[in-house]
Amino acid sequence: MDQTEKRHCWECRRRCLVCDSTKPSCKRCTTSGTRCPGYDSVKPARIRWVEPGRVTSRDRRKPKRSLYTSVKEKGKGVMNAQNSSSSMPVICAGLPPVVICADAAAVPLVQAAEYFNACIYKDLKPVLELGQNPHIYELSASIIHNATSAPQFLQHGMYCIILSHRMNRIRKDPQAKRLNEKFYLHRGVAIRSLSKHLDAKYDGMDNVIMAGILMLLLVDIQHGTLFGWRCHLEQVQKLISRRGGFHALVRFDMAEPLLLSIWFLAIIGNTTCPAADLGMTRVHLEASDFMLEKYDYASFPVGMCPQPLFIEIVRINHLRMRAVAVDAAEAEETALDAYRTLDRIHAFSPILWTESRSLLSRQDWMRVSSAYQTAVALYCILALQSASLIPETPSMRSQCAEHGHHLQSVLVECLASSRTKRFMVWPLVVLGVEAVHKGAAPIRAFVADRLPELSCDLGTSVPLTAKAVLEAFWASGNERWDDCFDRQYIFTTQIAPDTSQLFPLYQRAAMSCKDTPCRDSALGC
């Protein structure tokens, strides 16, 4: 190209960078992972251009509106975070950015709620087409008003969820580093506030404390912190045991969403860990019938696994635990239980299970139940083979390969739907473990491609953590289930616990200690 004809691509012009004018894509765009818009004389339509010096994403001159009007009006848009490239979303003008507060002790609740409603709730809303779900709701003005009196650890925990979601949406953007610094500042404030509440030991706060620990647990899982969440899970399980267990706590309606979330997370975490790292499997099994009644009523608080299949996951976890310490007298009975479990999984009928669903959502539920049936069957065979409860025979290997191909075909449809894709991380991980065997290279490529897409779509690091774990397993030369996981992982995409019923409880507890000296400034007393 002659020097007189040299042009900058539109992306380099927008970012005020020197372009090398390489065709068809410049090297700057290729290196940064950005799609080069080219050198045409007409500005590309995919970008909303703003002239230099004119930022339209906010206007400081506008009169300040009330909290309620602001939330209602600004919460209508959805952030196109994948295309954003600056702290102010110029190419997504008019949509709420994540406001970074200069003071780490303060939380911009209104702006955080605007982002939640415009981005996170908007992505969750299609799930409601599958049926009523009390755990998915928009943050209304009354909820935001109540949140202003919530303890600091809940406020800062929620803000960490917002920051982490935004970072996972714009992972390659320079703004992500600044958001990450703020994330750890607010996480530190949340941990310090929670520690003060634990030291205070005043009545009526156990459920709120449990919600705070669960919030930090989900924050660390979502952000990809490998070790922090494990201690949170252990502490909240100790708190439940000290208060009488699941049976005693579930009598309180305000604790029910928290218990369901904790129960679900702990069970899913037991599936993706070495057998020697399993925890509380007997407790989960003893509480399963009682908890599944609540799980059935709540529809799908954090997952879409059919109840009969979920109870089989609980049983498989317990069989793995039994296999670690089983003696010769019990070995045969444990192996028989393993085969009985596999038979019940294969006998499950997605058609019969979906008959109670509405006609509009029945096809989605059919695909989801079929995906989970196959994933649970694979988990049963692979995990119990690793525990030496099911033999590794050619017929079993053929059965697993058949399950793997079927699961892949169903996942293609489930991942294409905004109603079901967020619930497919665990089945994808199970498929990835099966894909370690010879001849499964196309399945490995499928899993490796879909997990990063889910991470960006859902605003969570969980799929990226799963991808790293699976790729290390594929390269290790090992093939057994326990060899895949060097520690316990939780591969779920729950955003945050339902704490809406706890704010009045916290207000009453704060009022009750008004006349008692309290060292916790978060109580406001």
DSSP-assigned states of every residue in 208-271: HHHHHHHHHHHHHHHHT-TTHHHHHHHHHHHHHHHTTHHHHHTTSGGGHHHHHHHHHHHHHHHH
Q: Are 263 and 246 in contact (CB under 8 A)?
A: yes
Rounded Cα distance, 369 and 377, in Å: 12
pLDDT at res. 295: 61
Q: Are 428 and 438 in contact (CB under 8 A)?
A: no
Instruction: Say which residues have a Cβ less than 8 Å from residue 296's Cβ, sequence separation at least 6.
Output: 307
What sign does the CA torsion over 144, 266, 459, 213 have? positive
Q: At CA 328, angle to CA 326 and CA 334, rounded to 5?
A: 55
| Dihedral Cα 178, 184, 190, 194, nearest 10 deg | 180
Rounded Cα distance, 168 and 297, in Å: 32
pLDDT at res. 41: 74
pLDDT at res. 427: 96
- Total Cβ atoms within 10 A of residue 181: 11
With H, G, I as helix, E, B as strand and everything else as coil, classify residue 315.
helix
Residue-level pLDDT, tens digit, the chain, 525 residues: 444 456 788 888 777 677 888 888 887 787 766 778 888 777 765 444 444 444 444 444 444 443 334 433 433 333 333 333 333 232 233 345 565 555 556 788 888 888 899 988 898 899 888 887 777 888 888 888 888 888 888 888 888 888 888 888 887 777 788 888 888 888 888 888 888 877 765 555 677 787 788 788 888 888 876 555 667 777 777 777 777 776 666 665 556 677 777 778 888 989 999 988 888 888 888 877 777 776 654 455 557 888 889 999 999 999 999 888 766 667 888 889 999 999 999 999 999 988 878 778 889 999 999 999 999 999 999 999 999 999 999 999 999 999 999 999 999 999 999 999 999 999 999 999 999 998 899 999 999 999 999 998 888 889 999 999 999 999 999 999 999 998 888 888 776 666 655 555 444 444 444 433 333 333 222
pLDDT at res. 241: 75
Rounded Cα distance, 331 and 322, in Å: 9
Q: 7-41: which CATH architecture?
A: Irregular (4.10)
Residue of 114, 206, 109 lying closest to 148 (CA atoms): 109
Domain locations in the chain as residue ranges: 7-41, 101-225, 245-496
Q: Are 344 and 400 in contact (CB under 8 A)?
A: no
pLDDT at res. 250: 60
